[in-house]
């Protein structure tokens, strides 16, 4: 993998040979890296460049001191230009159209004191983010051999849901339902009512398990219907209506909807809900959650997290692509797109070195503004209205005693009456190598269309979880006194709150890859990435299993 110099002279950049590829990708975010791996596995010649000196782009994990300049660059400026002359190959004339980049971050606010050991903190740009043990992203890592380049840790603290001013555990098994004494309404304090509520929850989970088993059996046998399956009529219902039919109480409905099915928007507000979850989709996520528990013998619960951060994932797919023959060059900006004047299509890129690279397919990261083919001043980007508010915090002690890594979910209306979206918070410790011992990183996020409201929800969740009266001596937090009072909050040492635009992947003469979305996992991003590949190469299989190294099928050591 080549690494261009960071200098400004054209002589500092390497010359790329050959000068023509099947595919050229700009940016090494997770979608671009998976696409590079898929294209290389399909036998395509691939050039993968990135203007940054590191892999991952908007999906990277970086040292804390590097975060401010990445989130608040000198944005919306042309890429560095190296040449204004157009080249002419023997077969067709083409022109170079300047390429611009835009900043996808805004409303950046910081507070507190950065600890002296700031470079020992690694910040995920996609947080909070986890992988289900049984989801397709994990399967792709196994198939590509990427799992042998990434180590995972279990989220051993499980999940908590904020309800009636308290953090309550989310049951991850039938046994957990009856062991947990917190899953009861304030009005139901007697043991009989408490047992009834738990029985209803147990019955619901049993119904879901029966549906999953029946659906799996029907798929294998090729039958359309099977006993034990939930009816098609119920599957088409809003999930919240189905939960009400099962007589589940409000708190249990919130657990299922927001802490297991991972709904983002207030499902009780059907008329204004931006994304109303159907029973079909809800059951699908419950099935994934259920099959994730116990998949790996050394992983507790349903979730795992990559050691050193999510930036390891793009690198794993880039390694696979490189093994398959892809060429990599970091610190190499793209300054212009090459357009075939006669056919009105993009045929390549001009690099910051001044070199022109021809290709059959261009794939760009989400920050690039793709010029329209008629050379007008407008761009092909659609109006960007979806956003996600994110927060990054450093705290002095664990949210949940005796737990290193834990997920917290704030359902809609749990923080304030007008709260329309769920807020998620993920606590990580030094056992995943993202911070020094004795400190913890916490990531928060919530989808929003209004930056002010999104940041308001994030700040409110931080107020609930942390004490903002942090000591001026950040090093003093490395050794904290024991918390004798159960509800003592961790001290908030430092925080970063910002808003990120959410862009979707788009097909066309140039593929544009998606930004990290508001979800906890990568399912939607992966589905979008697969669709981009299928749109480009409809007759090719997406990362076929036979392209993986022999050891890639051994998944026994994925999580440690």
* DSSP strands (E only) in 137-215: 152-154, 159-163, 166-169
Are 364 and 50 in contact by the 8 Å Cβ rule? The answer is no
> Checking DSSP bridges between strand 423-428 and strand 440-448, what pairing results, if any?
antiparallel
Strand partners, 559: 152
Report the pLDDT averaged over residues 467-484. Answer: 47
Looking at residue 515, its pLDDT comes to 95
Looking at residue 273, its pLDDT comes to 85
Report the pLDDT averaged over residues 407-425. Answer: 96
Q: Which two tokens stand for residue 491?
A: 């001290």
Indicate the range of 466-475, 518-527, 536-545 predicted with least confidence: 466-475
Looking at residue 219, its pLDDT comes to 62
For residue 381, with 0-12 CB atoms within 10 Å meaning exposed, 13-18 middle and 19 or more buried, which class applies? Answer: middle
344-375 pLDDT, tens digit per residue, is 889 999 999 999 999 999 999 999 988 876 54
Whether the pLDDT of residue 508 is over 90: the answer is no
Nearest Cα to Cα of residue 137 among 471, 524, 533: 524
Looking at residue 3, its pLDDT comes to 58
Which positions ≥6 away from 322 have C-beta within 8 Å? 1, 328
Looking at residue 149, its pLDDT comes to 84
Residues of the chain with pLDDT > 90, as a percent, come to: 61
* Residues 492, 87: Cα–Cα separation, whole Å: 56
Whether the pLDDT of residue 400 is over 80: the answer is yes
Whether the pLDDT of residue 133 is over 80: the answer is yes
Are 169 and 301 in contact by the 8 Å Cβ rule? The answer is no
Looking at residue 35, its pLDDT comes to 97
Looking at residue 486, its pLDDT comes to 43
Mean confidence (pLDDT) of the chain = 84
pLDDT band at 539 (very low <50, low <70, confident <90, very high): very high
* More reliable by pLDDT, 155 or 81: 155
Whether the pLDDT of residue 480 is over 80: the answer is no
pLDDT band at 74 (very low <50, low <70, confident <90, very high): low
Q: Which domains does the chain have, with CATH numbers?
A: 2-102+310-382+504-553 (3.50.50.60), 173-292 (1.10.405.10)
Report the pLDDT averaged over residues 248-261. Answer: 93
pLDDT band at 439 (very low <50, low <70, confident <90, very high): very high
Whether the pLDDT of residue 509 is over 90: the answer is no
Looking at residue 12, its pLDDT comes to 77
Whether the pLDDT of residue 112 is over 70: the answer is yes
Are 59 and 126 in contact by the 8 Å Cβ rule? The answer is yes
Q: Which of 82-91, 171-180, 183-192 has the highest mean pLDDT?
A: 171-180
pLDDT band at 260 (very low <50, low <70, confident <90, very high): very high
Whether the pLDDT of residue 83 is over 50: the answer is no
3-state secondary structure of 36: helix
Report the pLDDT averaged over residues 465-471. Answer: 74
Looking at residue 235, its pLDDT comes to 94
pLDDT band at 283 (very low <50, low <70, confident <90, very high): very high
Through-space distance between the first and last CA atoms of the chain, rounded to whole angstroms: 29
For helices 30-41 and 312-323, the axis angle rounded to 10 degrees is 20
Looking at residue 529, its pLDDT comes to 96
- Phi, psi (rounded to 5 degrees) for 445: -155, 155
Report the pLDDT averaged over residues 322-330. Answer: 96
Looking at residue 469, its pLDDT comes to 62
């Amino acid at each position: 993998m080549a690494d261009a110099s960071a200098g400004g002279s054209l002589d500092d950049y390497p010359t790329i040979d050959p000068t023509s590829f099947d595919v050229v990708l700009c940016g090494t975010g997770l979608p671009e890296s998976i696409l590079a791996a898929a294209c290389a596995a399909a036998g395509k010649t691939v050039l993968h460049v990135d203007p940054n000196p590191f892999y991952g782009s908007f999906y990277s994990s970086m040292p804390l001191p590097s975060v401010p300049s990445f989130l608040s660059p000198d944005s919306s400026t042309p890429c560095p230009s190296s040449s204004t002359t157009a080249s002419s190959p023997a077969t067709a004339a083409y022109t170079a159209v300047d390429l611009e980049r835009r900043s996808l971050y805004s409303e950046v606010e910081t507070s507190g004191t950065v600890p002296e050991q700031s470079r020992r903190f690694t910040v995920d740009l996609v947080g909070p983010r986890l992988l289900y043990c049984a989801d397709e992203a994990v399967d792709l890592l196994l198939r590509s051999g990427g799992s042998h380049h990434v180590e995972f840790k279990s989220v051993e603290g499980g999940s908590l849901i904020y309800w009636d001013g308290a953090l309550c555990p989310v049951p991850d098994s039938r046994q957990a339902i009856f062991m947990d004494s917190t899953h009861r309404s304030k009005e139901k304090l007697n043991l009989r009512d408490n047992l009834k509520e738990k029985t209803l929850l147990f019955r619901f989970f049993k119904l879901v398990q029966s549906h999953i088993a029946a659906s799996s059996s029907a798929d294998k046998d090729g039958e359309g219907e099977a006993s034990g399956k939930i009816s098609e009529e119920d599957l088409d219902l809003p999930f919240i209506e189905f939960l009400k039919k099962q007589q589940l109480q409000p708190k249990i409905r919130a657990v299922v909807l927001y802490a297991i099915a991972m709904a983002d928007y207030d499902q009780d507000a059907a008329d204004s809900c931006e994304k109303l979850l159907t029973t079909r989709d809800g059951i699908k996520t419950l099935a994934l959650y259920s099959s994730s528990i116990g998949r790996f013998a050394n992983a507790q619960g349903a979730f795992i997290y990559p050691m050193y951060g999510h930036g390891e994932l793009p690198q794993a797919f880039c390694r696979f692509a490189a093994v398959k023959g892809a060429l990599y060059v970091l610190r190499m900006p793209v300054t212009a797109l090459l357009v075939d004047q006669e056919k009105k299509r993009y045929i390549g890129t001009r690099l910051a070195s001044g070199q022109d690279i021809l290709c059959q397919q261009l794939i760009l990261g989400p920050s690039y503004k793709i010029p329209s083919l008629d050379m007008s001043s407008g761009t092909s980007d659609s109006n960007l209205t979806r956003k996600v508010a994110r927060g990054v915090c450093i705290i002095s002690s664990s949210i949940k005693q005796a737990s290193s890594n834990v997920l917290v979910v704030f359902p809609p209306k749990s923080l304030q009456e007008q709260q329309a979206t769920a807020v998620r918070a993920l606590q990580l410790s030094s056992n995943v190598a993202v911070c020094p011992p004795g400190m913890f990183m916490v990531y928060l996020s919530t989808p929003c269309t209004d930056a002010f409201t999104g940041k308001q929800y994030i700040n409110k969740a931080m107020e609930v979880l942390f004490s903002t009266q942090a000591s001026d001596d950040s090093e003093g937090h490395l050794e904290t006194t024991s918390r004798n009072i159960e509800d003592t909050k961790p001290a908030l040492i430092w925080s970063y709150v910002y808003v990120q635009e959410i862009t979707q992947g788009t097909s066309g003469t140039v593929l544009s890859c998606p930004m990290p979305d508001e979800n906890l996992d990568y399912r939607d991003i992966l589905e979008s990435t697969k669709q981009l590949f299928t749109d480009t190469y409809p007759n090719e299989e997406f990362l076929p299993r036979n392209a993986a190294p022999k050891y890639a099928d051994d998944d026994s050591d994925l999580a440690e």
